[in-house]
Structure 1
Amino acid sequence: MPHRVVDFFRSPNDHIKASVQRRSSPNTSRRTSRERPTRNPSYASSVDETTAEDNVLNNTPAQTAAPAVKMPDSAKEKHPKDHKDHHRLSFPTLHLGGSKASKDHSYNQSASLDWKIESPPAVMHGDTENSTGALVSGQMLLCVKEPLDVQSFDARLEIHVIQKKPFNYHCHGCAHQKTEVKKWSFLTEPTALSKRTHQFPFSVLLDGHLPASTDNSVLSIQYDFTAEVKPKSGCAIKLYKKIDVKRSLPVPEIPHHSVRIFPPTNITASVHYDQVVHPMGANQFTIRFDGITKRNVEAKSVEYWKLKRLSWKLEENLTTVAPACEKHSPKDAETGQPAKKGAKRTELRTLAHADMHNGWKADYSPDGNIEMEVSYQCPPTAKAVCDMHSSDGTEVTHQLVVEMVVVQEYSPLNQPRHATPTGVARILRMHFGIVMTERAGLGVSWDNEAPPIYQDVPPSPPGYTNPISYDSMEGLVLENSTPNRGSQEVVGEMERGASPAYEARSP
């Protein structure tokens, strides 16, 4: 019933309080019922039910209960507003959300702003020293729904570095650093725009030494594109976008070859591995161990180094310097200016690892060796970060760690199958630096796609190898002339500058 719901929201613990008072003092039941505030029900049935409920709670006999009194119609007419509000439930502290326009202060009904990128994805080909950068071009689309007077129209591209472990954890300036790359001023004077879609082209060349976009546990680097239109009246129109900039290094066709020697043993490891790998994809390396057999002529025995376990892991090393803002930087005693200060942040994590107890081929002859081929990859859940190196001290590197456990055994020369462990074991460990980079895809560097420029065109057309003299040209004209006319007449007309081929003459 409506009045029960209202009573629950107003005082949900009234019945509990009444029961506690009755237990503490049995003589207070009638007093509690008399002191209990009365309410004006809206229906007669609700009065009867409320009275019966009070009698049950107060242990009052049904005969002593007051008879139900029906509310006259005149009482309802005196307070029609209270009668309507009696069934209304209000939740002042509950907000179910509003419209998008009420939250977005940059919303403008007269116009909207968007962009269209016409260039391929921004990929820097090559390392920071040899890369020519990435070219980004597009158009700003200002859709005017009603005639609009614009004061200015500007846009900028910034490198936004977010330090997740800043110099001061409670300072916004230490956690965020912004560097402006390019700024555009499309409209610098007040301009009246008609009702249509206005296009404003823009382009920028990202230099090859700039860092690529990244997001890891230490810092985040992103390229923020912000555009703002300030109309003469109304709120400003803003556009915020991000440009994903990647770097791709060429993959060598031949795997890298590395040879390691482990003294005091005669074991030599020869490894072929891919020096450039990708975050998504399978990679492999081959390894071969030589010098695992040693013959002892005096003792008439042969010593073997047997491989018991091989494990590999892919590690990622993150290093950066969290700079301090002007507020937290110490001032120089001589100049009084804030000195540059920062805190070094490092993190080492393992992207993937595996242990192998079999899968290799072993030959324990006098010139024996052990060979195996291992496949490894980085799982997508690891969220590997590509290698990078920037001028502010940020560096991301990867390395492949291979570890082997070998055990020494010996056997007589006559019975090579009866091998006995000597109790000597060694751990052989190797580190290989690898480079993790993005895939180049179908794109190439922008300077290879560009057509030849004007400076590449030679200054004049090429010359003829066999120049034609005037005498040979005169003979050619004489041969092609009409037979009814003399050669002297034709030559005379050529000297005067006339054209005998198109001049009409009478026979």
Structure 2
Amino acid sequence: MPHRVVDLFRSSAHSLESSLTKKSASGPARRRDYPDRAAPGSRSSERASSSALFLEDCSDGLPAPPYTPQGRMEGSRASSFSSDSHKEHGSSHPHHHKISFPSVHFGRSSKDSNSSSSATLDWALESPPLVMYGDAETSSGALLSGQLFLNIKQEGLEIDSLCATLSVHVTQKKPFANHCSECTNQRTELKRWDLLQNPLAMAKGEHSFPFSVLLDGHLPASMDSPLIAISYEFKAEARPRRGLPLAPIKLDKALDVRRSIPSSETPHHSVRVFPPTNIRASAHYPQLIHPIGNYTLALRLDDVAKLNSKVNTVEYWKLKKLIWKLEETTKTVAPACGRHSPKLGQGTEGQQNKKGVIRTETRVIGEKTLFSGWKSNYASPTDSMIELELDYSLAKHAKYACDSKSRDGTEVTHQLMVELVVAQEWAPVNKPSLVTHTGVGRILRMHFGTILTERGGIGISWDNEAPPIYQDVPPSPPAYCQETRFSAEHTIDEVIDPLDGYARSHSSSLSGRS
């Protein structure tokens, strides 16, 4: 179809040029004979030629159309057009011919160009970054507070309503039903503010409206994983009075909500045994890591040598290769919408059986293979060991999601996988240098549970920033144990002990008087 449309426009342009050429030739003079005076129909010819050039440029790269008798068609169209032009030229009222292309638009239409808005919306956050300190069970949440600014540019503009909403948007990348918008997107409104209760004619200038909300600690943090994406959306809308030719003023913002779990002061200790061998692995590692930074796992392998008294030989396990990986596992439940969730057969009317599909996916966010970097000691069968310090971190441009667990079934966990490849060798007890390979190997695989979380920085939980509350203070002031009555003869210095300096000066003055 595109090549046919191009041919149609090209044939129309050629017929128009031929007819205009005949018409100018039948006139008293041509344009090239009178360069200072524009010939009749020159504007239309220039317009047609520019349109033809534009269409020819746009047709570059299109496939060649099938063979059609184009010359005969162009000749017939040119002859009919020229005959009609001669007839109109011979009449008393000549008409100028114009060809319009309704489907081709050059430039921007007046309908698309919107007039300057009569009002704008903006916001300013006054609270610190939204960070939930602690896990979902113990966290007190994060406090969000700020101001919404409505800038009125037209005096006396009437606003019917001004509202703002905060919602959490969950996007299932592998939904229950493909190509279903309701199964893919779930929005939950957390807070709504009706900032204008009644219509109001507002003066020109900037008007501020404060808002605040406490995000519960069980809410998930913002994330973007292969299965699910969670984001927090703040939307505000101001509607002008009905009847005014003004569109609603809208504001859409995204909030970044994070979670920070406090780290332990002491490293985690883990001991593993790998039967049927006697190898025992002892590891010290930090259980909590951050996306930015390097961390160290101290690993020691004991009992890597064994004495075989029957043949008077010593068997060694030597480390050949080490592989470490940081794995992220995402587990979520893709819920079904109302159309795809079947109704209960014998249940109450209006109720639906909520169902979903469990999705699980694991990705690697950091890995490395080592062939050296450890120390081995085979001095005696009873005192043999392999020691190493493993440095690990996230990959440079890795996409990650911090540990999270929410009530809707979404859970993100991390683990450090260490894989050791060991080979068995033996040597006589009297000649330990005569090593012989047995061809026996083992793969020792260990998994260490790791928590990936954001750094807390210098911030603390919002409830710790509040002033202290004295709950033990009674409603009335405390009563004195002994009531003191003053008379005219006694002074306050005789009842209350003065300060040391004042007491010495007062005693010296009294001694001088005496």
Class of the TM-score when normalised by the shorter of the 2 chains: 0.7 to 0.9
Mapping for residues 172-251 of structure 1, pairs under 5 Å: 172-232=181-241, 233=244, 234-251=246-263
Find the counterpart in structure 1 of residue 180 from structure 2: 171
From 293, 296, 305, the equivalent of 2:308 is: 296
Gap runs ≥5 in structure 1: 1-5, 15-34, 45-68, 481-507
Mapping for residues 55-454 of structure 1, pairs under 5 Å: 71-73=27-29, 82-88=41-47, 89-90=50-51, 98=108, 102=112, 109-146=117-154, 147-232=156-241, 233=244, 234-335=246-347, 336=349, 337-366=351-380, 367-453=383-469
Three-state SS of the structure 2 residue aligned to 1:39 is helix
Three-state SS of the structure 1 residue aligned to 2:378 is coil
Residue type of the alignment partner of 2:19:
R
Deviation at 1:171, TM superposition (A): 1.1
Whole-angstrom CA distance in 2 between matches of 1:350 and 1:478: 80
Three-state SS of the structure 2 residue aligned to 1:363 is strand
Maintained 8 Å contact 2:20/2:41: no
Whole-angstrom CA distance in 1 between matches of 2:110 and 2:453: 40
Whole-angstrom CA distance in 2 between matches of 1:427 and 1:394: 33
Decide whether aligned partners of structure 1 residues 71 and 97 sit closer, same or farther in structure 2, where only a CA change above 3 A counts: closer
Deviation at 1:40, TM superposition (A): 2.8
Decide whether aligned partners of structure 1 residues 387 and 479 sit closer, same or farther in structure 2, where only a CA change above 3 A counts: closer
Deviation at 1:469, TM superposition (A): 3.2
Decide whether aligned partners of structure 1 residues 316 and 181 sit closer, same or farther in structure 2, where only a CA change above 3 A counts: same
Whole-angstrom CA distance in 2 between matches of 1:163 and 1:263: 43
Decide whether aligned partners of structure 1 residues 237 and 271 sit closer, same or farther in structure 2, where only a CA change above 3 A counts: same
Maintained 8 Å contact 2:167/2:188: yes
Whole-angstrom CA distance in 1 between matches of 2:312 and 2:488: 102
Larger radius of gyration: 1
Decide whether aligned partners of structure 1 residues 101 and 224 sit closer, same or farther in structure 2, where only a CA change above 3 A counts: farther
Decide whether aligned partners of structure 1 residues 386 and 304 sit closer, same or farther in structure 2, where only a CA change above 3 A counts: same
Q: How many residues align?
A: 428
Gap runs ≥5 in structure 2: 1-5, 55-100, 496-514
Whole-angstrom CA distance in 2 between matches of 1:439 and 1:477: 59
Deviation at 1:100, TM superposition (A): 12
Find the counterpart in structure 1 of residue 20 from structure 2: 40
Q: TM-score, normalised by structure 2?
A: 0.76
Task: Find out whether 1:10 has 2:19 as its counterpart.
Answer: no
Three-state SS of the structure 2 residue aligned to 1:429 is strand
Decide whether aligned partners of structure 1 residues 188 and 80 sit closer, same or farther in structure 2, where only a CA change above 3 A counts: farther
Deviation at 1:360, TM superposition (A): 0.2
Residue type of the alignment partner of 1:145:
K
Find the counterpart in structure 1 of residue 504 from structure 2: none
Three-state SS of the structure 2 residue aligned to 1:86 is helix
Whole-angstrom CA distance in 2 between matches of 1:319 and 1:99: 50
Deviation at 1:462, TM superposition (A): 5.2
Whole-angstrom CA distance in 2 between matches of 1:74 and 1:185: 73
Maintained 8 Å contact 1:280/1:380: no
Deviations 1:324-360 (A, max 9, x none): 1111111111135332121222211111211111100
Residue type of the alignment partner of 1:476:
T
Deviation at 1:8, TM superposition (A): 12
Maintained 8 Å contact 2:221/2:230: yes
Three-state SS of the structure 1 residue aligned to 2:457 is coil
Q: TM-score, normalised by structure 1?
A: 0.77
Aligned identity (percent) is 51
